[in-house]
Amino acid sequence: MQVPLIRLQCGVNSYDWGKVGNDSAAAKFAAATPSDFSIQEEKPYAELWMGTHPSNPSKDLTTQRTLLDLVQDNQALLSKDIAERFGNKLPFLFKVLSVGKALSIQAHPHKKLAEELHRRDSKNYPDDNHKPEMTIAITEFDGLCGFRPLAEIAHFLKTIPALREIVGDSEAAAFESAIKGQDTSTEPAAETKNKKALQKLFGTLMNSSPEAVTKACYAIVQSASSEGASFASGGLPSTSGETLARLVARLNSQFPQDIGLLVFFFLNYVELSPGEAMFLKADDIHAYLSGDII
Ligand SMILES: [Zn+2]
């Protein structure tokens, strides 16, 4: 049976972090479909969704039937296998994200944990699925993805005094000695020890008082601005001091004195050009900072 080509009308979310007006790819794609949607110059447009999710369902432009209704009515649209396996729903949500401002740092649960959270608290965890993400850049993009190699975190503890101060010198030293000589080891015992050391250090940072976070942010913004390219001893091969200093200023201007500014030194900084992609497994910590992506 031949499956007809159906033109979809996809909804756009207007969140504060979205790119504004015509600058937003999400808005431009939405406006390309003939409908009553038109782009307002001052308004941020964050996400275009193509899928069967009930909170923003895509519709057949001609009949206005939802995509969910269509795929449930006609199994050939998904194929029998997919329809059976995923209960007549699309097993993915296709989004265009237009990121103007840094998004919150997040991690999505793996399948088992998602099921358990959903079972325990379906109101706050309406979805029992894991949510790995594939990100394809359609404009210049940057973001944070996964923890940095431990030696890089150690570098920042040594070269950014405010970062060392907030976790405390003894915590920093304990981390340094725990990973010493084995930071890239793949031996199970060493890996466990490394993981524990990182967990302890990161936990200490996350449990810092709001006053300490504010103080550390002020100091880091100050050093980034006065030191420029030599910030954090010139940075690292993966992220230069100049890039770090620029990012510190940018992130702090979006969210002044936010703990995210300190977490930034623990995570890999990733830049993508149009057509490049990154994959985030379930559980991987990440934050999108700017750019348009699929
Ligand atoms: Zn995410």
CA distances from 22 to 28, 139, 167, 273 (A): 6, 14, 43, 20
Q: For domain 8-144, is the CATH number 2.60.120.10? A: yes
Measured in Å, residue 75 CA sits from the centre of ligand 1 at 30
**pLDDT score for 1:** 56
Q: Give pLDDT tens digits for 158-177.
A: 999 999 999 999 999 999 99
SS (H, E, C) 231-254: HHHHECCCCEHHHHHHHHHHHHHH
**Non-local CB neighbours of 215 within 8 Å, separated by 6+ positions:** 162, 166
Task: Compute and round to an integer the Cα radius of gyration of the chain.
Answer: 22
Give the helix/strand (H/E) hosting 95. Answer: strand 94-99
**pLDDT score for 88:** 85
Band of residue 126 on the pLDDT scale cut at 50, 70, 90: confident
Measured in Å, residue 196 CA sits from the centre of ligand 1 at 24
Measured in Å, residue 259 CA sits from the centre of ligand 1 at 18
- Report how far residue 66's alpha carbon sits from residue 80's, in angstroms, rounded to the nearest whole number: 20
Three-state DSSP state, 156: helix
Q: Give pLDDT tens digits for 131-151.
A: 889 999 999 999 999 999 999
- Report how far residue 261's alpha carbon sits from residue 267's, in angstroms, rounded to the nearest whole number: 11
Measured in Å, residue 246 CA sits from the centre of ligand 1 at 24
**pLDDT score for 2:** 65
Measured in Å, residue 34 CA sits from the centre of ligand 1 at 30
Residue 202, phi then psi, degrees to nearest 5: -65, -40
Looking at residue 22, the DSSP 8-state letter turns out to be G
Structure tokens at 206: 């996350």
Architecture of domain 148-267: Orthogonal Bundle (1.10)
**Non-local CB neighbours of 53 within 8 Å, separated by 6+ positions:** 93
Band of residue 3 on the pLDDT scale cut at 50, 70, 90: low
Measured in Å, residue 270 CA sits from the centre of ligand 1 at 15
Three-state DSSP state, 8: strand
Measured in Å, residue 292 CA sits from the centre of ligand 1 at 14
Domain residue ranges of the chain, discontinuous segments joined by +: 8-144, 148-267
Measured in Å, residue 280 CA sits from the centre of ligand 1 at 8
Q: Which residues sit opposite 9 in a β-bridge?
A: 59
Strands (E), 129-260: 133-136, 141-147
- Report how far residue 221's alpha carbon sits from residue 254's, in angstroms, rounded to the nearest whole number: 13
Band of residue 205 on the pLDDT scale cut at 50, 70, 90: very high
